[in-house]
Structure 1
């Protein structure tokens, strides 16, 4: 049978489920807000960095732009450049140009180099190094883009400067960034181009330091043509997610999720810098966010587990305390049995308890009323049953009296015919004593000692009649003689032996014995007579089974009621635990055993 859950276990499970659900929901909500807050903080931090980089780029671009504009607005410089003959350059004019460029660069070297290209195919430069040489302006690689802008600035891609490499081999690995601007005469006719050169390690110094301090960050600067400006030493192409920036599917100053070529999930923020026309992109792998929140989630999960254990413990004790009154009632109900109900003990009543609810208190009152009513009803029923059993016991005993008198009057008649006057006198004396015993209606039950005493009187009567042909033996321990049995238990069995067992030759022996077997006192009457045939033994056992099931006194008729009458009265007195066993075979004697339960 499937074991049912107890109310306490159900309360514990329900409380635990509710508490666990609340704690887990709190954990999920707090974790969500914490992760969301960390996400916003990271995005805000990336946006702040993007703005800071944009401001720095703007400042550095302004330096280049100011240098180029100051150069363009220098009339003496333009005049000198116009007068230099590429075939025979005047060194005085070149020196004057260098002085002007030197004054623009200043003592703090705000830019690395300024080169001026004349439309007369000559160029003069000063800064990191001094240079003057013929140079065909229209053949320069950047000329087309610069000419198309009509005086607006053009910033080229970072590259190594070949002229610098020729002059100073130690600058071979350096990258430079150049800003170009066309300048015009008063008639707005092109006169030349000013190139302002800046060392990338200076221009991007802030970015280099930032990337060194934050290795988890990836910064890219891309110009309007989609060319990678920074990192300037990188030979990689523009990242694939830049297409989303061009298409407008990711927005400036917001947190965007993109994927690189390796499938890594990245946070992306970007901002366009107006003066340079560049887009500044900062990406960070999302795993850095989870690495940051992982310790918090680990600690918080530990607290959650501790709170869950504490809540389980609390729920267990709450359920246990709620069940204490009901467990007390359950314990009292389990103790209820017939002996407790019939006793005068009132310990099974439940007293009022403190800290109980009105419903529990009402339940206790109903239980106490039920117990008292059950006690009264049970006593009435037991008394009625006892009276009924007593009446049936007396009825079965009264059936033996006429049967006994009939048999013994027959014995007296036979003795009289044989002129056995002295024996008749002794017989009648013993018979009167025995009749006085069986006629006393005060007791339905007697102890074995009393029953044995009067059974011996009956046996003495029979010895008067049969003389030395009859012998009897007694083997009953003293400790068993106090056991109660129905009155007239042994005499009918002895009489059956005398009547049916001895058509054979004497001596005739009847043995009465008693012994303990398990929890039963086994009282037996045995003889050395002719025993039972298989047919008669089967019939008798069948009749005893019918009596056990029916307990009907009207099924017993005078003339054949010895063994059956004894068995019926045993059942009335001891119930179903009592038994009567018959053993014996033909010409091998018979034995009838009465099994009396001890402790009834």
Structure 2
């Protein structure tokens, strides 16, 4: 247990407090508990970490495999739609009937228009209409009964186009107005897939307020001599081609985004995408069109994303699924939280068992410690000092306890002998201090009496001898505590003796609060201070003034002795302050010195009586000032209130 003195000392020094706390925690229970807990923590952490890494890898692999499967399925669905467009275009391109009827249609249309222009007969026009009907039937058959595409157009290279689907019949067009015309004419790959465009004509056939987009696949149309004779356009609704991507975007639980772009880095899906935003994602496709799963850091959002890339050599389109890693791996995070929670619960239970095991071992030691801590000096060797039987179940600890009980009996006898010896030594030193007198004071007093006798100063001799007699009687009387008024009275007699010697050169003042008159204080505690003040004041040019003031502040009393001398030297103050700080720090009082009632002796005597409540201050002002004091509870004090008068001599 830390005493009050130790507690105050520890609070004053943080380093000492940390040292005490560290020492306090170095006990058997804490060492056993920390050792068991550390072993459990290491083993458990390794097992949990291994299990978490294994399970997290499995969950991560499942999540990425699922994402890759979604991306591949989406790419397959998109390719399937473009295969339908391509199959229809190939059916038309390789159909000789389509070639023949399209050539005849173009020639008959030209002839019929020229004949009509010259008012010829209408036979050519009738043939043109008949050929157009046959061409329509052939194109319908080429598309197929299931109509996998919505619209088919045949273009010549001049200005005529024939449609089959929701838009049937002949139309005219300007090649320079078609953005795809030059690309198709210079295309060497066979087919050309144009980016999506708003299609007002197809929008009319959909019961929706939103404008519909369409995509077209183009091919050059060759005659039987392998000479280009026109262009085939097969058209389909954009929403139908990318239905799988639209459905996935709307319904996926990860809030993933889908991006489709071609080899020219033109965004195909979504139609209103910001190219600057998606451009970093498109750079992840290799030059050879490689695919796979890759991690990506989005600088805009500041979070990691996982990309599932799939490239189609058939269409030249790349499909990218962009999903936040935190959302995709949310099951993994949930698993991690649950694993950590369960691990903490198991760990806490393990540590609790460790604590109980350490407690089971150290409880008997604590009982012994408690018995030793609560044992008082007067209980040593008595029945009160012997604690109940330990009965710890551990033979070694039971034997240790009974050895302690026997030791306490022997210690009691040794302590009694030691205390008696120390008490006798202290009493002898106090008596020696009380009977000690400064030989210079006696010599000077006797010399003064001799001089006054030669001068026939009988009245002064009587006064001095009376004061000297009273002072010596007080000095040699038994008792270590006296009323403050007695100490003040004999201190005044001491000054009166010296005043007869020095005459008007010496002045002294007493100002003592009446409430302090009955206060019990150590004997010869003020007079040595006055003697010390007189000693140093007389080294200065007269007049010499000594003031003694006694006051009450809160629950403390204090007496101040001040002189008008040169004050203490810095070396003396530093040496005395060092000795006092050493006593306060170690709480070890040095032996009282028999070579004089010095200031350190006075401090030691005050410390013995008042402990940490001791008031002891030394300062230099106009002269030297010494203040001593303590608590009022240490001695009796009268009930009279008021303030005493000032005596000046």
TM range (shorter): 0.5 to 0.7
Residue ranges of structure 1 left out of the alignment (5+ in a row): 390-531, 544-600
Q: CA deviation at 1:316?
A: 3.3
Structure 1 match to 2:366? 327
Q: 1:114/1:20 Cα in 2 relative to 1: closer, same or farther (>3 Å)?
A: same
The answer on whether the counterparts of 1:224 and 1:278 sit within 8 Å (CA) in structure 2 is yes
Larger mean CA deviation between 298-307 and 181-190 belongs to 298-307
2:165 pairs with one of 113, 127, 148: 127
Q: Is 1:278 the counterpart of 2:317 in the alignment?
A: yes
Q: How does 1:421-500 map to 2 (within 5 A)?
A: none
2:89 pairs with one of 61, 68, 71: 68
Q: 1:187/1:117 Cα in 2 relative to 1: closer, same or farther (>3 Å)?
A: same
Provide the secondary structure at the position in 2 that maps to 1:221: strand
Structure 1 match to 2:544? none
Q: How does 1:33-432 map to 2 (within 5 A)?
A: 36-83=57-104, 84-85=106-107, 86-88=109-111, 90-119=128-157, 121-135=159-173, 140-150=178-188, 152-161=190-199, 164=202, 173-214=211-252, 216-232=255-271, 234=273, 239-246=278-285, 252-259=291-298, 261=300, 263=302, 265-289=304-328, 292=331, 295-296=334-335, 299-300=338-339, 302-303=341-342, 306-307=345-346, 309-334=348-373, 342=381, 353-354=392-393, 356=394, 361-362=395-396, 364-365=398-399, 368=402, 372=406
Structure 2 match to 1:539? 476
The answer on whether the counterparts of 1:177 and 1:199 sit within 8 Å (CA) in structure 2 is yes
Q: 1:374/1:97 Cα in 2 relative to 1: closer, same or farther (>3 Å)?
A: same
CA RMSD of aligned residues (A): 4.4
CA distance in 1, matches of 2:171, 2:373: 118
Q: CA deviation at 1:362?
A: 4.0
The answer on whether the counterparts of 1:151 and 1:183 sit within 8 Å (CA) in structure 2 is no
Larger CA Rg, structure 1 vs 2: 1
Provide the secondary structure at the position in 2 that maps to 1:173: coil
Provide the secondary structure at the position in 2 that maps to 1:177: strand
Using structure 1 for the length normalisation, give the TM-score. 0.55
Structure 2 match to 1:517? none
CA distance in 1, matches of 2:158, 2:287: 45
Residue ranges of structure 2 left out of the alignment (5+ in a row): 1-5, 7-16, 113-127, 422-468, 481-649
CA distance in 1, matches of 2:48, 2:389: 45
The answer on whether the counterparts of 1:222 and 1:230 sit within 8 Å (CA) in structure 2 is yes
CA distance in 2, matches of 1:378, 1:237: 91
Q: CA deviation at 1:75?
A: 0.2
Provide the secondary structure at the position in 2 that maps to 1:245: coil
CA distance in 2, matches of 1:309, 1:172: 61
The answer on whether the counterparts of 2:199 and 2:211 sit within 8 Å (CA) in structure 1 is no
Q: 1:251/1:272 Cα in 2 relative to 1: closer, same or farther (>3 Å)?
A: closer
Q: CA deviation at 1:184?
A: 2.4
Q: CA deviation at 1:81?
A: 1.4
The answer on whether the counterparts of 1:97 and 1:124 sit within 8 Å (CA) in structure 2 is no
CA distance in 1, matches of 2:69, 2:91: 33
Q: 1:317/1:363 Cα in 2 relative to 1: closer, same or farther (>3 Å)?
A: closer
The answer on whether the counterparts of 2:161 and 2:172 sit within 8 Å (CA) in structure 1 is yes
The answer on whether the counterparts of 2:364 and 2:390 sit within 8 Å (CA) in structure 1 is no
The answer on whether the counterparts of 2:307 and 2:323 sit within 8 Å (CA) in structure 1 is yes
